[in-house]
Copies of this chain bind each other. A is one copy, B any other.
Amino acid sequence: MAEQTQFEELARQLSAVGAVKRDMGRILPPDCPAGSAAVLTLLGRHGDMRMSKLAELLAVDMSVTSRHVAHVAARGWIERHPDPADKRSRILRLTPAGLEQLDELSRRTTHLLAERLADWTDDEVAQLIRLMTRLRESFGDCRSTAFRLPVPVTAPVVEETTRTPAST
């Protein structure tokens, strides 16, 4: 078990890693935002699957998954086939165009990471991957354990729109 100071620092790093994600997002191809890229990546890695399975892998609500899938399907990168075993369900499958897009994604992210992590050793990258994977697993279990504590401070909210530099 780690100390409190460590947990605070980890929380800070988790918050700040968004900057890295945004940097990665900037080199994505047009019409292929991060959500679409994640759909293509997971389909390429795990093969054909249903919406519900994809939503689980994305770790987002199925309504969100539905939107991302509609986006990539509209661009011809995947196809939604009817599931013979369950007419409510749809099987997602990468198209040849989707595979090309996936290759392009791989090229760009690999290029960016190779540039940014030029001075990282193979082992360091492997360790980061391992620890991040473990982190996700540690959080993956109890996703519905959202609890709320009472608010500590009850101060009035004053939406100060204009600048008042020298007031008081």
Give me the interface of A with B, judged by CB distance under 8 Å: 1-4, 6-21, 23-24, 26-27, 29-31, 34, 37-38, 41, 45, 59-60, 70, 73-77, 80, 82, 87, 90, 97, 100-101, 103-104, 106, 108-110, 113-114, 116-122, 124-129, 131-136, 138-140, 143, 146-149, 151-153, 155-161, 165-166
Contacts and interface: CB of A to CB of B under 8 A. Distances in A.
B159 A74 contact: yes
Nearest to A96: B153
* Interface of chain A, main secondary structure: helix
Contacts of A147: 27
Nearest to A120: B2
Given A11-B109, A59-B19, A31 B104 contact: no
Copies, count: 2
